[in-house]
Amino acid sequence: MLKKDFLVHTTKQIVSQTFRLGAVLFFFFIFLTASSVLLVRFFNPPFSSFMVWESNFFQKKIDYSWTPIPNMGKNIALSIVATEDSNFCNHIGIDIKEIYKVVAKGEKRGASTITQQLAKNLFLWHGRSWPRKIIEMYYTFLIETVIPKRRILELYLNIVETSPLTFGVDRASEKYYKKPSNKLTKEQAIRIALTLPNPKARNPKKLKSYLVKRISRLKKDLEILKKGDRSSCFL
């Protein structure tokens, strides 16, 4: 009887301690992630997790510097939103309409929003798995809750990979067109935007024909974006 009571008591202690440890780890995770998101609302990140992975923990040199969004010009901001996430100003981090459209048409392309891509590139690791996707969704919710849309776009425009080991649209502008992004023509900005999401294989000056055909349509889309409420959150 005493042995049985001892086992029951020991089991309860183990369960209780495990629960307490789990609760401490959970709240520590919430504190750490929320703090990291809050920091990038007010401070420009010196690097992203994607940069760390791509450079093999900085064994390879990266081309990255910060450019405030007012210094980038409207053409590149509009081009990125038009090609990557045209409903950016009107969704809460996840574009349900776009997901439904992709599923309904049976398309293979993704439906990730700019906020989701920012979460993935800024905070997470390489690879695809359900745990990583769940954490990405959690970070997306945090980012949309804590950070204004204009700042979200500014972060993305600065840390997105635009060619191998080159990060940010301004660095791409200097690399390919020898001028800052606020001097880009509408077509040049669209060409840089069209290198995403595969900047390692695409060069804005040597786009494949199916991408070149999109340029004239995107020029019209930029004008529509500029005049409507879909750009009001960042222009």
pLDDT tens digits along 42-65:
999 999 999 999 999 999 999 999
Considering the domain boundaries, does residue 24 fall inside one? no
| Residue that wins the pLDDT comparison between 219 and 228 | 219
- The pLDDT of residue 150 is 97
Considering the domain boundaries, does residue 147 fall inside one? yes
Q: Is the pTM of this model over 0.85?
A: yes
**pLDDT range class, residue 19, cuts 50, 70, 90:** confident
Considering the domain boundaries, does residue 4 fall inside one? no
Considering the domain boundaries, does residue 22 fall inside one? no
CATH of residue 136's domain is 1.10.3810.10
Considering the domain boundaries, does residue 141 fall inside one? yes
Please state, in angstroms and rounded to a whole number, the distance separating the CA atoms of residues 12 and 6: 10
- 167: three-class secondary structure by DSSP: strand
Average pLDDT, the chain: 90
Beta carbons of 226 and 74 less than 8 angstroms apart: yes
Of 81-95, 167-181, 186-200, the range with the lowest mean pLDDT is 81-95
Q: What is the mean pLDDT of residues 95-113?
A: 65
Return the HEC string of 181-220.
Answer: HHHCCHHHHHHHHCCCCCCCCCCCCCCCHHHHCHHHHHHH
- The pLDDT of residue 126 is 76
Structural domains in the chain (count): 1
Of 13-22, 26-35, 59-68, 84-93, the range with the lowest mean pLDDT is 13-22
Residue 108 has pLDDT above 90, yes or no: no
Considering the domain boundaries, does residue 14 fall inside one? no
User: By residue range, what is the domain housing residue 154?
Assistant: 44-231
Considering the domain boundaries, does residue 204 fall inside one? yes
Considering the domain boundaries, does residue 75 fall inside one? yes
